[in-house]
Structure 1
Amino acid sequence: MKNILSILVAVIGVVCIVFGVLFIMQAGDSKTIVVDELKASGVTLDNLDAKYDAAKAGLAQALGAGAAGTETAQSVGWQKTSLGLAKSNLGTIDFVQKSGILAIVIGAGLTLAGVGLMKKS
């Protein structure tokens, strides 16, 4: 019974490692897609926060001037929303990459523990 549990722990560890690698690979591909989409609109990762802050200030200024329903205010609002979604996507991508690294570390620990238990019994 102890041998079966040690094999199960080792297999779960290998599965964690595989999922960690998949998370990291998918996050890398997703980041490339987001960066390419941002480049099409003239935004880079370096100036994303500055463009978002400028759009946020422009929207506040347009709304403060009483131009809530105008095309300019709507355009700035759409720009702010799009840049905010890009920032959110990049944050999610970073989280997935870190989760992948964590899954690999946990998987390595589980695999080593399972192999150690197998050798011990």
Structure 2
Amino acid sequence: MSLQEAIQNVGNMIKDLSVVKVRTYSGTVASIRTATQPDANGNERSFDDILNTAEEGGEIKLAFLTVLNLEGDALLFRAEDSAVATDKLEAAHNSAVTSGIQSRQAIIDMFKDMATNLMGGAAPAGD
């Protein structure tokens, strides 16, 4: 891997760390099982493709969506249908959001510690 590729990979990781995005769906196992079938060429399908297929077929429904950007912007969605957006599903969704925030913070802290160690133990500017 070249230095340019390594820098690009780090840039992509930082971009991924800047957004916490959690989608919670409601549906049946049968609808996902149908959507997980390999494509016409026998290739396994991505999870996003599986969800899109099941959602387009009306077999699953988006119940909650949370997008949190590092700069503080937030996008929140809750389905109007209380049969889809149940309180228990909301609690599970909120737990997933909290977990996403905590995992991002742990990764950021790891990079911060690595930078500190590379600088000979001095804390990075701004701490």
Taking structure 2 as the reference length, the TM-score comes to 0.36
Larger Rg belongs to? 1
The answer to which structure, 1 or 2, has the higher relative contact order (CA under 8 A, 6+ apart) is: 1
Structure with the bigger percentage of strand: 2
TM-score by length of 1: 0.38
